[in-house]
Chains A and B, each alone.
Chain A
Amino acid sequence: NAGVMQNPRHLVRRRGQEARLRCSPMKGHSHVYWYRQLPEEGLKFMVYLQKENIIDESGMPKERFSAEFPKEGPSILRIQQVVRGDSAAYFCASSLGTSGFDEQYFGPGTRLTVT
Chain B
Amino acid sequence: DAKTTQPNSMESNEEEPVHLPCNHSTISGTDYIHWYRQLPSQGPEYVIHGLTSNVNNRMASLAIAEDRKSSTLILHRATLRDAAVYYCILRDAETSGSRLTFGEGTQLTVNP
Interface range on chain A (Cβ under 8 Å from partner): 20 to 34
Q: Kindly provide the distance from the CB of A60 to the nearest chain B CB, expressed in whole angstroms.
A: 11
Q: For chain A residues 37-95, which have a beta carbon within 8 Å of chain B?
A: 42-45, 48, 55-56, 59, 91, 93
- Inter-chain contacts of A48 with B (CB < 8 A): 97-99
Majority secondary structure, B binding face: loop
Nearest-CB residue, chain B, relative to A108: B43
Interface range on chain B (Cβ under 8 Å from partner): 20 to 34
Q: Kindly provide the distance from the CB of B53 to the nearest chain A CB, expressed in whole angstroms.
A: 13
Contact A103 B49 (CB under 8 A): yes
Interface string of B93-104 (1 = CB under 8 A from A): 110111111111
Is B68 interfacial (CB 8 A cutoff)?
no
Is A98 interfacial (CB 8 A cutoff)?
yes
Which stretch in B3-11, B15-23, B27-35, B76-84 binds the other chain?
Answer: B27-35
Contact A109 B43 (CB under 8 A): yes
Q: Kindly provide the distance from the CB of B66 to the nearest chain A CB, expressed in whole angstroms.
A: 20
Is A107 interfacial (CB 8 A cutoff)?
yes
Nearest-CB residue, chain B, relative to A3: B43
Contact B99 A45 (CB under 8 A): yes
Assembled-state Cα–Cα distance A48/B99 (Å): 7
Known contacts A42-B103, A101-B49, A103-B49; A31/B42 CB under 8 A: no
Q: For chain B residues 57-112, which have a beta carbon within 8 Å of chain A?
A: 91-94, 96-105
Contact A100 B102 (CB under 8 A): no
Known contacts A101-B32, A108-B43, A109-B42; A45/B96 CB under 8 A: no
Assembled-state Cα–Cα distance A34/B112 (Å): 35
- Inter-chain contacts of A42 with B (CB < 8 A): 102-105
Interface string of A102-115 (1 = CB under 8 A from B): 01111111000000
What are 8 A-B pairs with beta-carbon distances under 8 A?
A4-B43, A31-B98, A33-B100, A91-B43, A93-B43, A100-B30, A101-B32, A103-B46
5 additional contacts (CB under 8 A) given A55-B98, A100-B94, A101-B32: A42-B102, A42-B105, A48-B97, A48-B98, A101-B93
